[in-house]
Amino acid sequence: MKIIVTGGTGYIGSHTTVVLLQQGYDVVIVDNLCNSSVDVIDRITQITDRRPQFEKVDLSKETPTNNFFQQHQDAAGIIHFAALKAVGDSVKWPTRYYKNNLGSMVNILENMQQYSIGSLIFSSSCTVYGQPDKLPVTEDTPVQKAEAPYGNTKQINEEMIVDALAANEISNAISLRYFNPVGAHDSALIGELPLGVPTNLMPYITQTVIGLRQKVSVFGNDYDTEDGTAIRDYIHVVDLADAHLVALERLLKGQNADPYEVFNLGTGQGNSVLDVIKSFERSTGLKVPYEIVGRRAGDIEKIYADTQKAENILNWKTTRDLDQMTASAWAWEKHYREVIEKR
Ligand code: NAD
Ligand code: WQD
């Protein structure tokens, strides 16, 4: 059975492609490589002994996207990861973000309708909740006005899906709201590879310890948390990838209770920035040079998921802890710098 994975050479898409191939699905990756490399296909093949098909297409462009779908109209479902995702860049270049993230969704929805492709899984984000009043965050927690254009594209993408479903343009969809995905595949052959200076915590830590950066700036230790640093729900990317398989199969088997469902994907555990640094030091035996600096503009104090809905309905929960996340992030950084980058 053929599944289209948009953004499949990217961080989360590549891990999900591995899971799908290992489960016997035929995968067609469609990606314009604006934030990933085509070499990822070889490494996915190395892990799975199966090669996904690959098409280089910019999904925000109508004609190439239509041509792509015409060729792959026999797909049973789509997992839509492709998007620009840097919050700060989205503030600098909002129009680029709207064009890319909304334009791609328009083209995908039109083609799902045209070819009656029944199932869509969409990569949403906990960013839609802003700083919620009550923790943990359930799926019923109100969505708040987005702080940045990036978050707004996620909210609008979700609304586009809801409207397309209401008008029967498409038939079934699930939005998965990820908390903070980190870590890498056990093989250390795929992982997160930010362009330039990382803005996210985990790649900043691994790049510091490998020697590319001097020290980690811990943004604020005056939050109302145990150690004063901000709290997030970090989730291992392989657990996250597994959840995509479960959500996809729910739609393919027609087990969904409603045409549109939303699930939070997190561990349910909040960890502070210092917890992550300590975990990294514990799991790798290496020191993380860091200093406490002021808060980062736009950061929230704490957020973590209520995981009940995903556990009860998807029958999915995370199995990997923070030490496995930090250890695998480090194994990937080392293997990438020492082997893959030098090829
Ligand atoms: P990523 O940048 O590694 O992967 C996204 C992929 O999409 C890249 O390979 C990029 O080249 C491709 N892409 C972007 N625009 C495209 C276009 N117009 N046409 C074709 N390909 C295009 O990002 P990721 O971390 O794997 O994120 C995947 C999805 O999950 C995104 O939608 C992101 O917004 C969402 N998400 C990510 C996080 C996170 O922290 N990583 C958290 C919540 C949600
Ligand atoms: C985590 C914590 C920082 C870097 C972002 C997006 C969100 C989602 C996930 C896509 C925070 C602190 C960070 C550093 C630090 N993406 N930190 N020093 O901000 O929770 O979420 O990625 O949807 O939309 O906003 O993730 O990894 O940047 O930060 O102290 O050098 O680490 O302040 O408390 P964030 P992050």
Query: How many other CB atoms sit within 10 Å of the CB of residue 268?
Result: 19
Please give the distance of CA 259 from its chain centroid, rounded to a whole number. Answer: 22
Secondary structure of residue 208 in the 3-state scheme: helix
Q: Are the C-beta atoms of 147 and 130 separated by less than 8 Å?
A: yes
Distance (Å, whole) CA 14 – CA 43: 9
Secondary structure of residue 4 in the 3-state scheme: strand
Residue 83 Cα to ligand 1 midpoint, Å, equals: 4
Residue 327 Cα to ligand 1 midpoint, Å, equals: 23
| Active-site annotation holds for 150 | yes
Q: Are the C-beta atoms of 198 and 159 separated by less than 8 Å?
A: no
Q: Are the C-beta atoms of 193 and 200 separated by less than 8 Å?
A: no
Residue nearest to atom 17 of ligand 2 (CA): 201
To test the ligand 1 pocket, which listed residue (14, 31, 106) has its Cβ within 8 A of the most ligand atoms? Answer: 31
To test the ligand 1 pocket, which listed residue (4, 17, 29, 34) has its Cβ within 8 A of the most ligand atoms? Answer: 34
Distance (Å, whole) CA 312 – CA 248: 16
Q: Are the C-beta atoms of 82 and 30 separated by less than 8 Å?
A: yes
Segments of the chain with pLDDT less than 50: none
Distance (Å, whole) CA 131 – CA 320: 26
pLDDT at residue 186, as a whole number: 98
Residue 112 Cα to ligand 2 midpoint, Å, equals: 33
To test the ligand 1 pocket, which listed residue (4, 11, 124) has its Cβ within 8 A of the most ligand atoms? Answer: 11
Q: Which candidate, 65, 146, 54, places its Cα nearest to that of 100?
A: 65
Distance (Å, whole) CA 304 – CA 84: 23
What residues does ligand 1 touch, defined as CB less than 6 Å away? Answer: 7, 9-13, 31-36, 58-60, 81-85, 100, 104, 123, 125, 178, 181
The number of the ligand nearest the C-alpha atom of 131 reads 2
pLDDT at residue 132, as a whole number: 93
Residue 179 Cα to ligand 2 midpoint, Å, equals: 10
Choose the catalytic residue: 25, 97, 150, 178: 150
pLDDT at residue 59, as a whole number: 99
Residue nearest to atom 33 of ligand 2 (CA): 219
Residue 34 neighbours by CB under 8 Å, 6+ apart: 58, 84
Distance (Å, whole) CA 35 – CA 101: 14
Judge if the upstream peptide bond of residue 203 is cis by omega within 30 degrees of 0: no
Q: Can you give 107-161 as a three-state secondary structure string?
A: HHHHHHHHCCCCEEEEEEEHHHHCCCCCCCECCCCCCCCCCCHHHHHHHHHHHHH
Residue nearest to atom 11 of ligand 2 (CA): 230
Residue 171 Cα to ligand 1 midpoint, Å, equals: 24
Secondary structure of residue 263 in the 3-state scheme: strand
Give one DSSP letter per residue of 36-51, joined into a string.
S-THHHHHHHHHHS-P
pLDDT at residue 313, as a whole number: 98
Residue 143 Cα to ligand 1 midpoint, Å, equals: 21
Q: Which candidate, 212, 182, 177, 137, places its Cα nearest to that of 277?
A: 182
pLDDT at residue 145, as a whole number: 93
- Ligand 1 atom with the smallest distance to the CA of 36 is 9
pTM: 0.99
Q: Residue 343, class by beta-carbon neighbours within 10 Å (0-12 exposed, 13-18 middle, 19+ buried)? A: exposed
